Amino acid sequence: MIAARGVAASAAALALCAAGPVMARTPSAHVAGRYYTVETTALRYNVDTGAFASDAPIRITRPGLDAVAEKAEGNTKTGAALLRGNVKVHDAGGPGSVQGKNATPATLTCDQLDVDGKADTYKCSGHARYESEIRTATAATMLLDRKQRKLHLEGDVVLAEGQSTARAAAVDMDLKSGEAVTTGSPVVLTQPASPLPSPAQSAAPKASTLPPAAPIPRPAPSPSAQ
């Protein structure tokens, strides 16, 4: 299904040649579609089909999220888009955030981003990295599902939170609860070493304060012994 979205986005560029009014390179273009808004300085856009393409820096936004890249193509009516080159996706946090209403901002960066605006999913590939205030993660690919508030990471995954690090073939994260499930082998978990005891803790134990044991009574001598 993910591959199909990529094909749909590529086909969108070809659809620009279809019949219908076309806006050729328009400065400061701003197109509001059903699933997201497109902003760029040079846009080729078919108003009948919704297909668009741009070789200029581009920005795609929707409530709570925006994505920028060096170029992109897609379709504002179907919600498909393919962004390429220094892609950065920013989740603003707060109400509507994939991490919950009290979440802080988070960022996804990658070489290529496959967007399904209808499903509200974002597949990152090539140097994929996720970063928030409390955790970071890197992987070959990542799939962010904003509706389900899930993040799937696959391929040489490294997940870090505080001083703890997990390495696995794949990780499924619940961004709201923070729970992570690792799959594949081996799974390597690294945690900080326990702190050394302080001098006070390692000092010799204090003498016992219990009272001394009472002496054992000796039996009285028998009359025959006298």
pTM, to two decimals = 0.70
Residue 6 lies in a domain: yes
Residue 224 lies in a domain: no
Helix, strand and coil in the chain, % to nearest 5: 10, 50, 40
Q: Is the pLDDT of residue 190 over 70?
A: yes
Residue 134 lies in a domain: yes
| Helical (H) or strand (E) element with 2 | helix 2-14
Residue 85 lies in a domain: yes
Residue 17 lies in a domain: yes
CATH number at residue 15: 2.60.450.10
Q: What total of structural domains would you count in the chain?
A: 1
Residue 47 lies in a domain: yes
Cβ 108 vs Cβ 142: under 8 Å: yes
Q: Is the pLDDT of residue 88 over 80?
A: yes
Query: What's the domain range around 26?
Result: 2-192
Query: 34-74 pLDDT, tens per residue?
Result: 899 999 999 999 999 999 999 999 999 998 889 999 999 99
Q: Closest Cα partner for 53 from 20, 76, 36, 19?
A: 76
What's the pLDDT band for 4 if we cut at 50, 70, 90? very low
Q: Is the pLDDT of residue 119 over 70?
A: yes
Residue 218 lies in a domain: no
Residue 99 lies in a domain: yes
Q: What angle do CA 132, 136, 138 make, to 5 degrees?
A: 130
Higher pLDDT, 57 or 218: 57
**Residue 49, token pair as written in the block:** 């089909």
